[in-house]
Amino acid sequence: MKHKRRKWMSRARVTTFILTVQAGAASGVPLANDLARDARNAQGDCKPLLLEFSSTSCSYCQLLEEEVLNPTLLNRSYDQRVLMRKLLIDGDARLTDFDGSASVNAGQLAGRYKVSVTPTLLFVDSHGTELAKRMIGVTTLDFYGGYLDIALDDARDSLRARGLCAE
């Protein structure tokens, strides 16, 4: 009996570990790979596309994701407010641009938007046009979530004012 119980407990621990690893891999801001598709999907739901410009060596980017962006993604009400994508400016992965061409990387997009500090958050429409004031860097996390909410509201108001919502 003890042997079967130990074997069951061992299996339960392994299963829990695997599920935790899978959940951890699935959580976080998804990497951008098709901005045209993402922007169309966001606009179809009358919500902005949030672009997080980040780098692999940026400790502030990691802090922002752990303390603000990842918990925001876990809050299902934000699914109705924003679609988030991460762009690693020090990566060389090619991605589909807003016009449908697959000829750009995150560093080139950072140059186009004149992003020189990570993290930087942009709120854009389906053409890549900025809708609200960008959020540059992290000064304090205490009020960051509130500033993010304000920017999301401003971006959605801008979408509506430009007639880009079917609502």
Q: What is the CATH number of the domain that holds 124?
A: 3.40.30.10
* pLDDT at residue 140, rounded to an integer: 85
* pLDDT at residue 167, rounded to an integer: 59
Burial of 62 (0-12, 13-18, 19+ CB in 10 A): middle
Among 19-23, 42-46, 69-73, 160-164, which stretch is predicted with the lowest mean pLDDT? 19-23
φ, ψ of residue 58 in degrees (nearest 5) = -90, 105
Count of domains for the chain:
2
Q: Are residues 94 and 47 in the same domain?
A: yes
Residue 166 lies in a domain: no
* pLDDT at residue 3, rounded to an integer: 52
Residues forming beta bridges with residue 34, ordered by sequence position: 96
Which whole number is the average pLDDT over 44-61? 95
Domain residues for the domain of 3 are 1-27
Q: Are residues 110 and 140 in the same domain?
A: yes
Q: Are residues 59 and 8 in the same domain?
A: no
Residue 104's contacts (CB-CB under 8 Å, 6 or more residues apart) are 94, 95, 96, 97
Q: Are residues 42 and 100 in the same domain?
A: yes
Q: Are residues 90 and 20 in the same domain?
A: no
Residue 88 lies in a domain: yes
Per-residue CA distances from 50 to 13, 18, 46, 125, 153 (Å): 37, 30, 13, 9, 12
Which whole number is the average pLDDT over 43-54? 95
Summarize pLDDT for 74-113 with one digit per residue, the tens.
988 888 899 999 999 998 889 999 999 878 999 999 999 9
Q: Are residues 8 and 78 in the same domain?
A: no
